[in-house]
Structure 1
Amino acid sequence: MCKILTSHLKCGESMKTSPAPQSSNSPDEQEIESLVEMMEWPEPPAPINFQASTSPNTTDFYLLTPASSHHVGDHVKVLIMARDHRGHPKTYGGDYFKAKLHSQSLKAAVTGSVTDHRNGTYTASFLLLWPGTVSISIVLIHSSEAISILREKRENRYFADNGTTAEVECNVIPPSNNVCTYHDQGTSERWYCTHPLNLPCTAYIDHSAGSLRKIYTPTDAQSCLYRLSRYKPEKEHKILSRVKPITVLPRSNERGPCTPGLMNLDPSGFFYQDVWISRSCRNRPFPDSVSASSCLHGRVLYMFGDSTLRQWWEYLVNFIPSLQKLDLHVSNIAGPLLAVDAVKGILLQWRAHQKPLSMNRTRVQDLHYIANELDAFGGGHELPVILINCNAHLIPFPIRVYIRRIQTIRDAVVRLLKRSPKTQVFIKSGNTGYLYAHGSDWLSFQLDTVMRLMFSGLPVTILDTWQMTSCHYLPTQLHPAKILVKNEVDLMLSFLCPQ
């Protein structure tokens, strides 16, 4: 089941009735099926039983191959032993853990990688990246039983014409048999609305978030299993262990400058004294507006994405006093939002991506497909900086919907780079902290993994905000605090101005 979104219709809408769908043998469809197969997750044996589900209270972890001393650059591994609510060892995998190495006094942290051995045990591996005393944290985000529920559950509109209005359901999946189909010629994507009574399909006017489907049945809600899929940060399922803090000794580490197209390492970086330090390159802080505006001098930045990318636009506008916002008399939710510094030749624009979107009432004409926006850029001497993200609003939908959207964006990026090879393109990853009923960090993680696979091998820079938001000591939330946004923006600026 999917999230319901609300849309409105207006006369003159450019989208037209769609042609027949693509052949299942097309390269795009073959890629979709391949990626869906890669995202398969271990299923627990049926039927699902709450007492047999993984419990953080009985699960434990142990240090593997303890050493007499540890240095920066060494690896530390722990073995996670999953147990159910009765304390019995699990015999199958599929649990989703968050592993973190941290030093609270140093405001330092880094994510760990977790390997599922499919037998109830997991190995969490950590790279020691700073000297001092470090502690290991393992949190059970979702048991395999909870993920089984989430996976099963994953898969109101306005019309106006001559004073007559109607509100109907719209979605990326036809909500009924009698629908208006809107086909975008540029991307071949489709959007469906239930046909309103006494109004034509050409009366599309506005879009907004509607209600949420009750994806859980009354039986689900009364069951203990319902609690499995409802993860709350204030009730983090932290696993207790006898593993003591580790003392790490220093060692030199040289990094090169941040250049476009660098591959992210795992982990991609770590926090130290509240500053993100990339492992891939020598990123640097931009502590004041002078340094940031100097880096942006003469640059035009176009941001296409959701509200987590809008945070970057808002941060820069508030951080650099010389940037002046221009009132375009549009919704701040959809944009476009524009800010300029005419003296230094800086232009910043943010625009929301196309539906599906959960937002207040917004005019349909203000919502554009990212791929179409990219295709509008010329080549030659025009060298804009492109920043893209697309994750949170597509979490509740079947993964094929997301893959299709990223296909159109990726292919448009390829076309843009052919026209203008020196254009810098940044892909902002998803954030952790999706804690709503219709989603979770596991669902977001799947989309983020797909995005990285689909952009691999291209001369673009993926900015890993997933790990940044995952390991920081502040409470996890989809829209992170200012200190995190600053570090995200500083990382991007480090690629624009590496020296």
Structure 2
Amino acid sequence: MWPSFCRLQVFCMILAVLAILVLVHNFHQFEHLDHNTVSGLNWIIETGDQQSSSPTTKATRKHYCDYEHQTLSKREQAEEESLFAAIQWPNPPLDLFTGEPWFCYKPRKLSCASRINHAKGGYQKGLLTPSESLFFQTDVNIKVPVLPSGSDSVTVEPLGFTESANVDRSQGPDIFPLGYYYQDEWRPRTRWIRHFNKTADISKCLQGKVVHLFGDSTIRQWFEYLTTFVPDLVEFNLGSPKNVGPFMSVDLKHNVLLKFRCHGPPIRFTTVFSSELRYIANELNGIVGGRNTVIAITVWSHFSTFPVEVYIRRLRNIRRSIIQLLDRSPKTLVVIRTANVQELGPEVSLFNSDWYSFQLDIIMRKMFSGIAVFFVDAWEMSLAHYLPHNLHPQDVIVKNQIDAFLSFVCPSET
């Protein structure tokens, strides 16, 4: 017989081993539970644009890449099929490629638990092989000038209607081209726009109004232009990141409030506080609206590296919120800024394309047709100008976009 203290020591050792085994088992279970919980907290696209007063369970969360598993109503399915048909391009000839198949990998699902900042990871460099690089040669097979076969000049004559022509909402792209430049001023073919060349005219137009600008950096340019051009508009320092926002300018003399906020993910800004990631649909739901409320929206650039289904889901939620806003406040003015062409260098052209941006533009126009919104045709304004293509058009083009925008806010009285 062992002494009693020896038996006690053995018993304690057995208990310690059992405790360790239980701890390891529970820790494994905790890790498994935490993985599921974290997966349920990933950033969402479809449900992220909608407000909800009740807690969302893991089963209802949607990952960025889970759009394929979302259930659509028959009406939404029919709309999506129609949109796909509108942007369908013919297949390229089979002998076009270097016998190598082209494909894309689906991005990995990201875990967003305890996230403080949102940051972009950048793009992989050096993707082209020497043989593939032959397809991207300036003045050989890209950026090749098209020389005129006859006269290289055109005669521009004034349009045959007066400024009193009606300005209807939801003007579709049925007419091409929609306009032209004359002495650096945009002249639409379907209507007249006012040219706000004096700061006093802009201040008078915006007097007593709250202007919300939602979207990417191409509509942030509107905020920057107005704040720089109108001396009475003074930016209030919110301590926001330089290129991200949110931003706010105030004109106390004319009672004008101008605000900018970027749209929700996906975004390609360098670093954004997670607390500042707001979806346009949610922001619209929080706006009362009225005759002194002006809203301008653009959503396209940051979606140019994502499947079109993601873009459709986002616009569908924004459209729903716009309809609800106009139902409760019909006098609210809503303006949609279209996409624009951009410079596509050797690297940028690997992950971006004006063709794809044009498809997104078609999607946007079709989804917002028939709704009481206005369009600023930034696409043709950037395409028709002699300045080089640029993701962020120069001030002379932005100025014409602002003129078109303010012409909806303050149409000609004559």
TM range (shorter): 0.7 to 0.9
Out of 200, 205, 213, the residue aligned to residue 290 of structure 1 is: 200
Are 1:365 and 2:275 an aligned pair? yes
In the alignment, residue 297 of structure 1 is paired with which amino acid? Q
Aligned to 1:407: 316
Q: Is the 8 A contact 1:370 1:409 kept in 2?
A: yes
Query: Over aligned residues, Cα RMSD in angstroms?
Result: 3.1
TM-superposition CA deviations, 1:392-425 (whole Å, max 9, x none): 1100111111111111111111111111111110
| CA distance 1:291–1:230, shift in 2 (3 Å) | farther
Are 1:335 and 2:242 an aligned pair? no
Aligned to 2:22: none
TM-score, normalised with respect to structure 2: 0.76
Aligned to 2:85: 37
Aligned to 1:348: 258
In the alignment, residue 385 of structure 2 is paired with which amino acid? H
| CA distance 1:252–1:288, shift in 2 (3 Å) | closer
Shift of 1:285: 0.9
3-state DSSP of counterpart to 2:335? strand
Aligned to 2:16: none
| CA distance 1:249–1:344, shift in 2 (3 Å) | closer
| CA distance 1:375–1:355, shift in 2 (3 Å) | same
Q: Is the 8 A contact 1:469 1:484 kept in 2?
A: yes
3-state DSSP of counterpart to 2:351? coil
CA distance in 2 between counterparts of 1:469 and 1:458 reads: 25
Aligned to 1:261: 169
Q: Is the 8 A contact 2:185 2:400 kept in 1?
A: yes
CA distance in 2 between counterparts of 1:46 and 1:351 reads: 45
CA distance in 2 between counterparts of 1:233 and 1:298 reads: 54
In the alignment, residue 401 of structure 2 is paired with which amino acid? E
TM-superposition CA deviations, 1:159-213 (whole Å, max 9, x none): xxxxxxxxxxxxxx7614xxxxxxxxxxxxxxxx237xxxxx2x12110111224
**How many residue pairs align between the two structures?**
348
| CA distance 1:385–1:234, shift in 2 (3 Å) | farther
Out of 406, 409, 414, the residue aligned to residue 496 of structure 1 is: 409
Q: Is the 8 A contact 1:302 1:348 kept in 2?
A: yes
CA distance in 2 between counterparts of 1:443 and 1:230 reads: 21
User: Is 249-258 or 452-461 further displaced after alignment?
Assistant: 249-258
CA distance in 1 between counterparts of 2:333 and 2:150 reads: 45
TM-superposition CA deviations, 1:23-81 (whole Å, max 9, x none): 24543344223312321110123243479xxxxxxxxxxxxxxxxxxxxxxxxxxxxxx
3-state DSSP of counterpart to 1:204? coil
| CA distance 1:430–1:295, shift in 2 (3 Å) | same
CA distance in 2 between counterparts of 1:249 and 1:488 reads: 21
Shift of 1:262: 5.2
In the alignment, residue 36 of structure 1 is paired with which amino acid? F
Are 1:245 and 2:149 an aligned pair? no
TM-score, normalised with respect to structure 1: 0.64
| CA distance 1:16–1:478, shift in 2 (3 Å) | farther
3-state DSSP of counterpart to 2:144? coil
| CA distance 1:319–1:205, shift in 2 (3 Å) | same
In the alignment, residue 92 of structure 2 is paired with which amino acid? P
Shift of 1:19: 0.9
In the alignment, residue 175 of structure 1 is paired with which amino acid? R
CA distance in 2 between counterparts of 1:229 and 1:443 reads: 18
Q: Is the 8 A contact 1:300 1:347 kept in 2?
A: yes
Shift of 1:241: 4.2
Shift of 1:360: 1.4
3-state DSSP of counterpart to 2:225? helix
Q: Is the 8 A contact 2:248 2:257 kept in 1?
A: yes
The equivalences for 1:299-448 within 5 A come to 299-378=209-288, 381=290, 383-435=292-344, 436=348, 437-448=350-361
3-state DSSP of counterpart to 1:354? coil
Shift of 1:478: 0.7
The equivalences for 1:450-465 within 5 A come to 450-465=363-378
3-state DSSP of counterpart to 2:248? strand
CA distance in 2 between counterparts of 1:262 and 1:32 reads: 20
| CA distance 1:233–1:15, shift in 2 (3 Å) | farther
Out of 98, 109, 116, the residue aligned to residue 205 of structure 1 is: 116
Can you give the 5+ residue segments of structure 1 that lack an aligned partner in the other structure? 1-7, 52-144, 156-172, 177-192, 196-200
Shift of 1:430: 0.5
Shift of 1:469: 0.2
CA distance in 2 between counterparts of 1:32 and 1:378 reads: 30
Shift of 1:237: 1.7
In the alignment, residue 33 of structure 1 is paired with which amino acid? E
TM-superposition CA deviations, 1:195-243 (whole Å, max 9, x none): 7xxxxx2x12110111224694xxx52324x443687999622223422
Are 1:271 and 2:178 an aligned pair? no
Q: Is the 8 A contact 1:434 1:444 kept in 2?
A: no
| CA distance 1:411–1:421, shift in 2 (3 Å) | same
Shift of 1:318: 0.5
Q: Work out which of the two has the higher radius of gyration on C-alpha atoms and give 1 or 2.
A: 2
CA distance in 1 between counterparts of 2:202 and 2:246 reads: 22
Identity in percent:
35
Can you give the 5+ residue segments of structure 2 that lack an aligned partner in the other structure? 1-41, 49-54, 62-68
CA distance in 1 between counterparts of 2:58 and 2:143 reads: 48
CA distance in 2 between counterparts of 1:249 and 1:497 reads: 28
Q: Is the 8 A contact 1:336 1:351 kept in 2?
A: yes
3-state DSSP of counterpart to 1:425? strand
Are 1:194 and 2:111 an aligned pair? yes
Are 1:175 and 2:108 an aligned pair? yes
In the alignment, residue 487 of structure 1 is paired with which amino acid? N
Q: Is the 8 A contact 1:324 1:341 kept in 2?
A: yes
Q: Which has the higher strand share?
A: 1
Are 1:19 and 2:67 an aligned pair? no
Shift of 1:449: 0.8
